[in-house]
Amino acid sequence: MRLYILKLKNKPLYSIARLTRAILLDLDRFLHPAKPGKKHAHYDFQHQAALARDHCTFDNPAYSRAVQQLENFSAHLERIRFDAHGRAAQGDEFIRYSFFLLHEALEIIYRNLVALRRRPPFPDIRVISGHARKNLQLARRQAAMDDADFIGNLKFDSIYVSLGKCFDCLEQYFDALSAIR
Cβ distance 92 to 17 under 8 Å? no
Of 136, 14, 23, which is closest to residue 74 (Cα–Cα)?
Answer: 23
Q: Which of 30-34, 67-71, 111-115 has the highest mean pLDDT?
A: 67-71
Inform me whether the pLDDT recorded for 179 exceeds 70.
Answer: yes
The reply to whether the predicted model has a pTM over 0.85 is: no
Inform me whether the pLDDT recorded for 13 exceeds 90.
Answer: no
Q: What is the pLDDT of residue 2?
A: 63
pLDDT tens digits, one per residue of 128-143: 898 999 998 888 888 7
Q: Which runs of E-coded beta strand occur in 33-150? A: none
CA-based torsion, 176, 68, 124, 17: positive or negative: positive
The vertex-170 CA angle with 126 and 128, nearest 5°, equals 30
Tell me how far apart the alpha carbons of residues 69 and 99 are, in angstroms, rounded to a whole number.
Answer: 17
Cα–Cα distances in Å, from 71 out to 24, 151, 156? Answer: 13, 29, 23
List Cβ neighbours of 88 (8 Å cut-off, separation of 6 or more): 152
The crossing angle, in degrees rounded to 10, of helices 93-114 and 2-9 is 60
Q: What is the pLDDT of residue 82?
A: 81
Domains of the chain: residue spans and CATH? 2-180 (1.20.58.220)
Terminal alpha carbon distance of the chain: 21
Tell me how far apart the alpha carbons of residues 150 and 171 are, in angstroms, rounded to a whole number.
Answer: 32
**Lowest-confidence pick of 5-19, 25-39, 91-105:** 25-39
Q: Which of 26-35, 115-124, 131-140 has the highest mean pLDDT?
A: 131-140
